[in-house]
Amino acid sequence: PPNLRPRPAASTTWHSNDDDVYRAPPIDRSLLPTAPRAAREPNIDRSRLPKSPPYTAFLGNLPYDVTEESIKDFFRGLNISAVRLPREPTNPERLKGFGYAEFEDIDSLFQALSLNEE
């Protein structure tokens, strides 16, 4: 004869351990900015900057109608030596949406990088 054993009763209770529940970590309020971005020290690791020229910054997320003059104007007051705005090979009229700015000194590069997201 087949082995007939009583089935365990199906539990209708959801057992939950608090450990199983995902909780976002608490916000460490001491890390939140309290001053406008311009007043805070930029979060740039100087040790990762080049020790000698060229001092080049990558410029991303540029509008397609940006000009070299508008880039130089944006960095007015910094020692900018060159701007490169790559174009689409199939359509030389269209920019790729990124570029490079070269600076004459490390301090200008540092100040340019501190303008991130501006």
Question: In this structure, what CATH number is given to the domain that contains residue 107?
Answer: 3.30.70.330
Closest CA to 112 of 69, 68, 59, 62: 59
pLDDT digits over 30-82, tens only?
A: 555 555 555 555 678 888 899 999 999 999 999 989 999 999 999 999 999 99
**Residue 9 forms part of a structural domain:** no
**Left, alpha or beta for 61 (phi > 0: left; psi -120 to 50: alpha)?**
left
How far, in Å, CA of 32 to CA of 30, rounded?
6
**Residue 25 forms part of a structural domain:** no
- The total of structural domains in the chain comes to 1
**Residue 95 forms part of a structural domain:** yes
pLDDT digits over 105-117, tens only?
A: 999 999 999 998 7
**Residue 106 forms part of a structural domain:** yes
Give the global pTM.
0.63
The parent domain of residue 53 ranges over 46-115
Q: In what order do the strands lie in the sheet with 80-84?
A: 55-59, 99-103, 80-84
**Residue 20 forms part of a structural domain:** no
**Residue 109 forms part of a structural domain:** yes
**Residue 70 forms part of a structural domain:** yes
CA separation, residue 86 to residues 2, 4, 20, 102 (Å): 78, 77, 50, 14
**Residue 29 forms part of a structural domain:** no
